[in-house]
Amino acid sequence: MAYNLPPLNWLRSFEAAARKVSFTAAADELNLTAAAVSYQVRSLEEHLGFPLFERLPRSLRLTEMGRAYLPSVRKAFGELSSSTVGLFGVQGETSITVRAPISFTTQWLATNMSEFRDAYPEVGIRIYTSNWVDKLMGEKVDIDIRYGDGNWDGEVAELVYEENTIIVASESYIKKFGEINSLQDLQKHSLIHVMGVKDSWEQLFRKHEIEFEDDISSIKVDSSLVAMKMAMADQGIALLYRSFAQEALDDKKLIEPLIFEEKSEFSHYLILPDARTKPRPEVLLFRDWLRDKARKDLLAA
């Protein structure tokens, strides 16, 4: 099968110049001269029949066609790089740095990490847990996993997967404070709130047109993991991802006092923080593994 593709070195120069917003910076990365990068990009534009850049006095700016073409080029290079590393391995020992919310790390990533480690033992992993979007002191993050609605200024977020939330409590709490037969009954109970994005209980009540009253004496925590532990300790009722709570449900440490399940308005997203730096092959390898594993788990649920 013949592929109607321009030379790969032209595409590589285009991708680097778009990422660096400079022919000179792209040339430094590719070990070429700025003139050579400029020539290759110009040749690509002539081949395609469209300008990809606006040449400004001291910088470059992608044209509309350039912006439309760039994601496909980046995806193709990323998949080629990831496949190469997956089949032939990486050269020497290397490592990547991952930052993720503590709940996601403890309840999902930690239990699945052995699969990646068994497949790619030469890739070291450094994991930092954080619930807030702050920079790590002296540490560059290769992959950032965040919880929210996917909108962060200046960042390109890729959905990891969507999941349903459920209502959980300890059996002893329900015996002490009474059964829950409807969403309205929740207002009579101590609700454990997870801070950070938007209050999930408030979102739930408003969605179902139930009057919401913010109780200042309620428990507010900064992660779903803490909320789950509080619920297990008879402190109230929590709203959690099913996958996060499933082990505690299986062990009878939590129950579902009300059969209720619906898709959360917020999800976990994957971000490659430095969009102007070409991701290393091992970073793309971990990204692809995490994305595929999460989606397989969702389909199996």
Of 245, 257, 250, the C-alpha closest to 176 is 257
Q: Give the DSSP letter of residue 237.
A: B
Tokens of 177: 């404070």
At residue 92, does pLDDT exceed 60? no
pLDDT value, residue 98: 92
Characterize 255-281 residue by residue with b for buried, 16 or more Cβ atoms within 10 angstroms of its Cβ, and e for exposed: bebbebeeebebbbbbbbeeeeebbbb
How confident is the model over 248-293, as pLDDT tens digits? 999 999 999 998 888 887 888 898 876 667 778 888 888 888 888 8
pLDDT value, residue 4: 75
The overall average pLDDT reported for the chain is 84
Domains and CATH numbers, the chain: 8-87 (1.10.10.10), 92-161+267-300 (3.40.190.10), 164-263 (3.40.190.10)
Task: Write down the pTM of the prediction.
Answer: 0.63
Q: Higher pLDDT residue, 2 or 37? A: 37
